[in-house]
């Protein structure tokens, strides 16, 4: 963290000369526009409150795309467009219901699991608690599930949260991120993932063959929070049975009643419907053209898709709104950067970073995903598929900034293991140190759209953000709504995002690029595979 201060003094003021003065003037205008005339929360409200959840290839995401295209065009951005990629089935759900009707009538809190079929009216059946988490568990339930609604999760007990739900990073928290993470690659990860994918299909087929009517899983958070993630979006992999996620409190009540008395009878309704009118998803792209066509481009991105339980606010309407606001700020200031600044809203992120990977396959490298492979499986296999070669666009991309860690204030940026990137990232961030964005740390992060850029040697970076209540209760949940965003944090993030983009677009230097990978990541020569995993 001290390092960035040093760069503020030595780098910006002493070394950079005129470049630094230009950046300072730009930064002041960016701060003024982004702090005093911010639109970021109004933009966010239009998206989250007005449109809501945005499951990839859902009607709601179509609406959001229209809105985003219009919004970006209204700011005068150039080349505003959709870039389609192959995804999978559309799935839409607007109404669902779950009630216990015996031994008493009570409304339960539940959500259909994404990409499971609707119920065609209301299902009414006794439940059976049949915890099934591996193939070996299936045999015990043969002949016992006909006409039943099957509860697949072990009931467990309620959680005892010993940490505060809302958190900001301390200096020590941030300092702990400043470490080079040793590269690790577990070649079994892919096998395990494939097994899990196969197992889900096997359970569905088993339940169908046994005559079960639907399955229910327990929410992984207490407090009546719901999520509803599901991954069966590929055309030939749709499950036969409706699946529901039930609030943990409601699930455990059913389990206790079933253990101590006659099986409760419940009703489930989901109006979910598949939509096969197309199987495409789209990335949204917009640009501020650079003045030097040979200088390449820099890019900011955030995934635009969400899960279904909330409004997709912290994950990742926040990132989307910040990218859009950064674009607005820069357009409003009328900047004419040397390099093109490209803005990207990705889709299919929640299914395995599909949109950003499609972009990379379309524009940056030759390494395609085998057709029909599900996203999460591809996530693990794609990283280590060789040979890998550059497309012509590869060298054009000079820096990519991703936002997808909730709505918390930017406290710095991860150099993502590229130690050579630290000086320039620090320099670009220096004008925003007093806004709280200070640290440039070596640490590497995963799980979102900079990952595949990193994996092919490109300069993709994520910001360090205050966690707020993202992990504790908001991420993917039914309370991922706008009011769990912090307006002040969002303004700050948009300012820093705009500032970093403009600095990168005008910089007379480029972030050194790591070598293009030529072989899989190292593996542990002593590793055995645990047969139970």
Residue numbers at the binding site for a second copy (CB under 8 A)? 42, 45-46, 49-52, 94-96, 103-107, 109, 157-166, 222-225, 248-249, 252-253, 256-257, 260-261, 310-311, 468-469, 473, 478-479, 481-484
Nearest to 216, CA basis, from 120, 148, 157: 148
The smaller minimum CB distance to a second copy, of residues 349 and 489, is found at: 489
Are 339 and 296 in contact by the 8 Å Cβ rule? The answer is: yes
The smaller minimum CB distance to a second copy, of residues 369 and 481, is found at: 481
Question: Please, which residues bridge with residue 285 across strands?
Answer: 81, 344
d(CA 427, CA 440): 10
Q: Which two tokens stand for residue 240?
A: 């036969």
d(CA 196, CA 134): 9
Smallest gap, in angstroms, from Cβ of residue 313 to a second copy?
A: 10
The smaller minimum CB distance to a second copy, of residues 239 and 242, is found at: 242
Smallest gap, in angstroms, from Cβ of residue 311 to a second copy?
A: 8
Burial (CB count within 10 angstroms: exposed 0-12, middle 13-18, buried 19+), residue 513: middle
Question: Please, which residues bridge with residue 106 across strands?
Answer: 100
The smaller minimum CB distance to a second copy, of residues 98 and 285, is found at: 98
Smallest gap, in angstroms, from Cβ of residue 488 to a second copy?
A: 11
Give the burial string for 235-271 (b: 16+ CB within 10 Å, else e).
Answer: eebbbebbbbbbbbebbbbbbebbeeeebbebbbbbe
The smaller minimum CB distance to a second copy, of residues 71 and 473, is found at: 473
How would DSSP label each residue in 303-371? E----SSS--IIIIIHHHHHHHHHHHHHHHTT---SSEEEEEEE-SGGGTSHHHHHHHHHHTEE-PPPT
The smaller minimum CB distance to a second copy, of residues 134 and 256, is found at: 256
Phi-psi category of 215—alpha, beta or left, where left has phi over 0 and alpha has psi -120 to 50? beta
d(CA 309, CA 316): 13
Smallest gap, in angstroms, from Cβ of residue 62 to a second copy?
A: 13
Q: Which residues contact 49 (CB under 8 A, 6 or more apart)?
A: 311, 482
Q: Look up residue 243 and give its DSSP letter.
A: E
Smallest gap, in angstroms, from Cβ of residue 237 to a second copy?
A: 28
Smallest gap, in angstroms, from Cβ of residue 308 to a second copy?
A: 11
Question: In terms of residues, how long is the chain?
Answer: 533
Smallest gap, in angstroms, from Cβ of residue 234 to a second copy?
A: 28
Are 383 and 376 in contact by the 8 Å Cβ rule? The answer is: no
Are 148 and 213 in contact by the 8 Å Cβ rule? The answer is: yes
The smaller minimum CB distance to a second copy, of residues 222 and 305, is found at: 222
Q: Which residues contact 480 (CB under 8 A, 6 or more apart)?
A: 306, 307, 309, 310, 311, 312, 313, 314, 315, 474
Smallest gap, in angstroms, from Cβ of residue 366 to a second copy?
A: 42
Residue recorded with tokens 């209540």: 469
Smallest gap, in angstroms, from Cβ of residue 174 to a second copy?
A: 19
Smallest gap, in angstroms, from Cβ of residue 104 to a second copy?
A: 6
Neighbours of 449 (CB within 10 A): 29
Smallest gap, in angstroms, from Cβ of residue 59 to a second copy?
A: 11
Strands 106-108 and 96-102, sheet pairing: antiparallel
The smaller minimum CB distance to a second copy, of residues 29 and 484, is found at: 484
The smaller minimum CB distance to a second copy, of residues 396 and 481, is found at: 481
The smaller minimum CB distance to a second copy, of residues 103 and 522, is found at: 103
The smaller minimum CB distance to a second copy, of residues 313 and 364, is found at: 313
Are 135 and 129 in contact by the 8 Å Cβ rule? The answer is: no
The smaller minimum CB distance to a second copy, of residues 31 and 113, is found at: 113
d(CA 465, CA 475): 14
Smallest gap, in angstroms, from Cβ of residue 407 to a second copy?
A: 11
The smaller minimum CB distance to a second copy, of residues 142 and 259, is found at: 259
Residue recorded with tokens 């009414």: 124
The sign of the torsion formed by the CA atoms of 9, 24, 501, 296 equals negative
Smallest gap, in angstroms, from Cβ of residue 80 to a second copy?
A: 24
The smaller minimum CB distance to a second copy, of residues 453 and 468, is found at: 468
d(CA 263, CA 329): 59
Smallest gap, in angstroms, from Cβ of residue 61 to a second copy?
A: 13
The runs of H, that is alpha helices, within 96-140 are none
């Amino acid at each position: 963290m001290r390092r960035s201060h040093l760069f503020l003094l030595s780098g910006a003021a002493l070394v950079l000369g005129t470049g630094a003065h230009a950046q300072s003037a730009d930064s002041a205008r960016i701060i003024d526009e982004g702090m005093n005339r911010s639109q970021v929360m109004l933009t966010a409200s239009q998206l989250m409150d007005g449109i809501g959840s945005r499951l990839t290839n859902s009607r709601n995401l179509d609406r959001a795309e229209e809105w985003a295209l219009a919004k970006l065009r209204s700011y005068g951005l150039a080349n505003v467009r959709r870039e389609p990629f192959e995804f999978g089935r559309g799935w839409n759900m607007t109404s669902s219901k779950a009630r216990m009707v015996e031994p008493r009538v009570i409304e339960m809190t539940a959500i259909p699991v994404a990409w499971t079929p609707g119920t065609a009216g209301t299902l009414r059946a006794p439940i059976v608690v049949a915890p099934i988490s591996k193939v070996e568990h299936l045999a015990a339930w043969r002949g016992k599930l006909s006409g039943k609604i099957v509860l697949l999760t072990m009931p467990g007990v309620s959680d005892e949260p010993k940490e505060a739900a809302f958190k900001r990073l301390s200096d020590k928290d941030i300092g702990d991120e400043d470490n080079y993470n040793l590269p690790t690659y577990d070649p079994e990860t892919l096998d395990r993932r494939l097994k899990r994918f196969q197992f889900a299909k096997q359970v569905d087929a088993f339940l169908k063959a046994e005559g079960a009517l639907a399955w229910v899983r327990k929410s992984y958070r207490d407090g009546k929070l719901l999520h509803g993630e599901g991954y069966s979006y590929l055309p030939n992999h749709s499950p036969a049975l409706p699946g529901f996620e039930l609030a943990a409190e409601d699930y455990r009540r059913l389990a206790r009643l079933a253990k101590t008395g006659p099986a409760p009878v419940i009703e489930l309704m989901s109006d979910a419907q598949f939509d096969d009118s197309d199987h495409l998803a789209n990335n949204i792209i917009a640009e501020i053209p650079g003045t030097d066509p040979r200088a390449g481009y820099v890019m900011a991105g955030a995934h635009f898709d969400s899960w279904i339980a909330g409004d997709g606010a912290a994950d990742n309407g926040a990132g989307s709104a910040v990218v859009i606001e950064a674009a607005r700020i820069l357009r409003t200031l009328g900047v004419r950067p040397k390099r093109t600044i490209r803005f990207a809203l990705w889709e299919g992120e929640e299914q395995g970073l599909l949109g950003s990977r499609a972009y990379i396959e379309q524009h940056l490298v030759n390494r395609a995903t085998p057709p029909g492979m599900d996203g999460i499986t591809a996530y693990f296999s794609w990283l280590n598929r060789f040979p890998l070669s550059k497309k012509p666009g590869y060298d054009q991309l000079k820096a990519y900034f991703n936002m997808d860690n909730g709505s918390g204030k930017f406290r710095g940026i991860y150099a993502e293991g590229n130690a050579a990137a630290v000086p320039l990232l620090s320099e670009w961030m220096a004008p925003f140190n007093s806004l709280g964005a200070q640290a440039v740390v070596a640490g590497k992060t995963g799980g979102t759209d900079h990952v595949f850029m990193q994996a092919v040697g490109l300069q993709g970076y994520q910001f360090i953000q205050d966690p707020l209540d993202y992990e504790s209760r908001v991420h993917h949940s039914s309370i991922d709504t706008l009011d769990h965003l912090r307006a002040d944090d969002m303004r700050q993030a948009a300012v820093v995002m705009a500032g970093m983009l403009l600095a990168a677009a005008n910089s007379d230097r480029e972030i050194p690029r790591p070598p293009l990978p030529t072989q899989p990541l190292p593996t542990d020569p002593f590793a055995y595979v645990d047969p139970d995993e």
